[in-house]
Structure 1
Amino acid sequence: MDWRRFIAEAVAGGSLLQATFSQPRNKETIARKTSVRPLKLKNGLHFQLERLQDNKAFHENVPEQAAAERLTALMGEYRQALIKTRQADVQLLANKKGAVTMIRHDPTAKTREPAASHNRVKSYVLPEGEPVPFLIRLGVMTPEGRVVKAKHDKFRQINRFLEMVADVLPDLPRGRPLTVVDFGSGKSYLTFALYHMLAVREGLPVNIIGLDLKADVIEECSRIAEDLAWHNLKFYVGDIAEYEGQTQVDMMVTLHACDTATDAALLKAIRWDASVILSVPCCQHELFRQISQPILKPLLKHGILKERFAALVTDALRANLLETAGYRTQMLEFIDLEHTPKNLMIRAVKGRQENRSETRAEYERLRDFLSVSPYMEREWPKMNRTT
């Protein structure tokens, strides 16, 4: 089969999974690599072209009707292409005169089907072996797409986070630009990952803000966002409790914000009526100092047990208060215990919540039993909002 016909049939038949064009004929003017993948948008199937040049990614969404012609034209810019379809992998090799040789690799049914399934599962996460510009810039990947050995746990954490985000994408509003705030963004691995998923992979109009107290970290993150030409990703120095930069936020993220900083972030998300909340709490000291219950003395007399118990109680009370505010709340394992003890994520999605009065009563019974006064409840009236 002629290689041009192969490309046309792969696009028209819906079997094209991925294409990678490499070895540019002119390194001065052509991106060193162009990746192509199918992308479903509101106005139909498109194919997203990602050009990687100087560690910056440039994206273009090509309608299905024009995709075969564009891919054929790309072969005139590169000496090599690897095209993956549901049936086979095909390698295209061009000589100096421009003649293209097509080499077909037909995997067996036994090896092909799991791979295809794996590709579908990983459509929302970052695959290993494929260069991702922001991961390269953050030192997680090499320019060839290999995960740096010392950063493999971070790579795994990023992918787990994106899996959790993928589950709630249908709960985000459509038809207008989305606003996402990441409180306590730190070095912003996950902030960059969010932008990559929402803006680059999903093609959604989005403005993402990262907030942290460390000025040097914010300066570096801002520089990376500028280098990547991600103009709708901004970083600011600021305190979570005092932040007033937005009046409407669609998704609020806070990962490992210390002690009551997590509570302050959750309260702001409730006030903003955020559609999605993702929170991984950290170092919950507040209730550790307050808990008092003689019946639990066998547990509370051991410091390490009291610390863990206090952390679980803190998150349980937070979840109940979110439910009384109209959120469906889940407790999820963020990453495995061997990587960090702070491995619980509170994922809350705005929606109709039944029996809110009973949920509030459950909260009050547990609060009173343990003689605690949580930050979220104390600060709740200051929101000037009826929940």
Structure 2
Amino acid sequence: MREYIEAIAESCRKLIISKPATKQEEYRKIIVQKKETFFQMEKYTDKQVFHENLSVEELETALEELMQNHFRQLNGFDIEAEHILLVSKKGVPSYKKKKLQNAVNETATHNRKKNYLLEEGKVIPPLVDMGIFTAEGKIVRTMYDKFKQINRFVEIIDDYVKDCKKEKLHIIDFGCGKSYLTFIMYYYFTEVRKIPVEIVGLDLKKDVIEKCNQAAKKYGYDTLHFELGDINGYKAPFPVDIVVSLHACDTATDFALYNAISWDAEMIFSVPCCQHELNEQMESEKLHLMTRYGIIKERFAALTTDAIRANLLECCGYKSQVLEFVDLSHTPKNLLIRARKAKISKEHKQKLLKEVDAMCEEFQLKPLLYGLLQVDEGRNTDAFRTGK
């Protein structure tokens, strides 16, 4: 069912969810409209209408839950076709697509410009140098998928930043590498959102840092600079609002998250990779099935690593989400952990910490991030002690 929902949510401008599974359902129908940067959901009871704004990932998750448990029919409409998803009483989904008789013939260029935060037709220097835009700001035909991926990354950030009230943001980008997305972030904040930023990119490769600083100077990005250094023990030059960590390898991600928590950063965007730490520790007699086969153990360990990280972030006062993210250099999909400071009850923290403890006990795990937080002499120590 998920693949049908993803296809519908990706292409459709309007959705109608109908045929409640039981007479006891709270809502009679739900209508979803695509806005410029989000989806607006209208939920109808017999007497009232409730509204909710969702990102595409939140919409997909909500639709899956609604269609699995509460409704039997979903109709989605794009400019050419109607998408119909039906769910039988036994929970079996079926999907069909039929062409609309009065389909609107819009050009692909119009659709692309309409839906993206980074607009085609504007000269965006980093995209030109990456070969995604021509010198005139047109999308290179063979690079359209890359353009969509970059916009998706910007949308993930925009969901959190669009309501930001701060006059200026301070950002640390750990393990920035060649910094393609760092330059795009700078453009997005300064040119699209009109928010002044100061960004520091950190990496261990001297030649990469030199080239990135040269590029920043070339683009006129005066408050973006790059430093040579290790994530572990890095001292921020300013109070940090946002921490970004894209593909910091293995436990480098843990140090990045720990730094973000220690700095009390408002937002965190992290794409972990090469999660080897728990794969080397993982053992279980009761659930040996998950560790018997090498490839399954490797994938399970990676998922376990990021699930624990997300839980620990919530224990430290962040509302966490784990989203799908497509790497710019490769086709496989990664996970992106997105977190924002929030008021989280002591009871919820205790529940999530017990989940982590149970997983660690069962598979004999000692995650680095957990250990760093346990020995912290600051506010996080109290949070973890009260959670147990």
Question: Which TM class, normalised by the smaller chain length?
Answer: 0.5 to 0.7
Contact persistence 2:113–2:120 (CA under 8 A): no
Q: Is the 8 A contact 1:183 1:265 kept in 2?
A: yes
Q: Which residue of 1 aligns with 2:258?
A: 267
TM (normalized to structure 2)?
0.66
Task: Determine helix, strand or coil for the equivalent of 1:284.
Answer: coil
Larger radius of gyration: 1
Change (3 A) 1:352 1:171: farther
- Aligned mate of 1:372, from 365, 373, 383: 365
Superposed CA offset, 1:188-211 (max 9, x none): 111011101101111111101111
Q: Is 1:134 aligned to 2:118, yes or no?
A: no
Equivalent-residue separation in structure 1 for 2:150 and 2:203 (angstroms): 19
Alignment match of 2:202 (pick from 211, 220, 232)? 211
* In structure 2, distance between residues paired with 1:340 and 1:365: 34
Matches within 5 A, 1:1-387: 110-111=104-105, 119-122=113-116, 124=117, 126-148=118-140, 151-170=143-162, 172-175=164-167, 177-335=168-326, 339-341=330-332, 343-354=334-345, 355-387=348-380
- RMSD of the TM alignment (CA)? 2.6
Whether contact under 8 Å (1:279, 1:347) holds in the other structure is yes
Q: What letter corresponds to residue 293 of structure 2 in structure 1?
A: H
- Return closer, same or farther for 1:163/1:385 CA change in 2, 3 Å cut-off: same
The C-alpha deviation readout for 1:270-312, integer Å capped at 9, x for no partner, is 0111111000000000000101111222231111110000000
| 1:80-106 C-alpha deviation (Å, 9 max, x unpaired) | xxxxxxxxxxxxxxxxxxxxxxxxxxx
TM-score (normalizing by structure 1):
0.66
- Alpha-carbon spacing, 1:337–1:140, altered in 2? closer, same or farther (3 Å): closer
- Specify whether residues 336 and 265 from structure 1 end up closer, same or farther in structure 2 by C-alpha distance, changes over 3 A only: closer
In 2, the alpha carbon distance for the partners of 1:238 and 1:119 equals 39
Between the aligned partners of 2:163 and 2:262, the Cα distance in structure 1 is 18
| Aligned CA distance change for structure 1 residues 342 and 178 (closer, same or farther; 3 Å) | same
C-alpha change, 1:361 and 1:265, in structure 2 (3 Å) is same
- Whether contact under 8 Å (1:323, 1:356) holds in the other structure is yes
Offset, 1:342: 5.0
Aligned to 1:52: none
Q: Is the 8 A contact 2:150 2:328 kept in 1?
A: no
State whether residues 146 and 328 of structure 2, in contact with CA within 8 Å, keep that contact through their aligned partners in structure 1. Answer: no
In structure 2, the CA distance between the partners of 1:216 and 1:183, relative to structure 1 (3 Å rule), is: same
**Amino acid corresponding to residue 341 of structure 2 in structure 1:** K
- The residue that corresponds to 2:94 in the other structure is none
CA-to-aligned-CA distance 1:338-372 (integer Å, 9 cap, x gap) = 94435110000111113112111121111111110
> For 1:249 and 1:173, how far apart are their aligned partners in 2?
15
1:47-99 CA-partner distances (Å, limit 9, x unpaired): xxxxxxxxxxxxxxxxxxxxxxxxxxxxxxxxxxxxxxxxxxxxxxxxxxxxx
Q: What amino acid sits opposite 2:343 in the alignment?
A: R
Report if the CA contact (8 A) 2:250-2:275 is conserved: yes
Q: Which amino acid aligns with 1:311?
A: A
DSSP-derived class of the 1:329 partner: strand
Question: Contact between 1:172 and 1:250, CA under 8 Å: does it hold in 2?
Answer: no
Distance (Å, rounded) in 2 between the aligned partners of 1:249 and 1:322: 16
Q: Which moved more, 1:247-256 or 1:185-194?
A: 247-256
Residue of structure 1 in register with 2:26 after alignment:
none
**Unaligned residue ranges in structure 2 (runs of 5+):** 1-101, 381-388
Corresponding residue number in structure 1 for 2:91? none
Pair 381,295 (structure 1): closer, same or farther in 2 beyond 3 Å: closer
Q: Aligned partners of 1:204, 1:231: CA distance in 2, in Å?
A: 14
Deviation of 1:135 after TM superposition, in Å, equals 1.2
Distance in 2 between residues matched to 1:268 and 1:275, nearest whole Å: 12
Gaps of 5+ in 1: 1-107
AA aligned opposite 2:150? I
How far does the alpha carbon of each residue in 1:15-44 deviate from its partner, in whole angstroms, 9 at most, with x for none? Answer: xxxxxxxxxxxxxxxxxxxxxxxxxxxxxx
- Return 363-372 or 257-266, whichever deviates more: 363-372
Residue 183 of structure 1: how far off its partner (Å): 0.4
Quote the residue 2:79 is aligned against: none
User: In the alignment, is the contact (CA less than 8 A) between 2:170 and 2:238 conserved in 1?
Assistant: no
Change (3 A) 1:341 1:142: same
Write the distance in 1 (CA, Å) between the matches of 2:189 and 2:238: 21
Match of 2:20 in 1: none
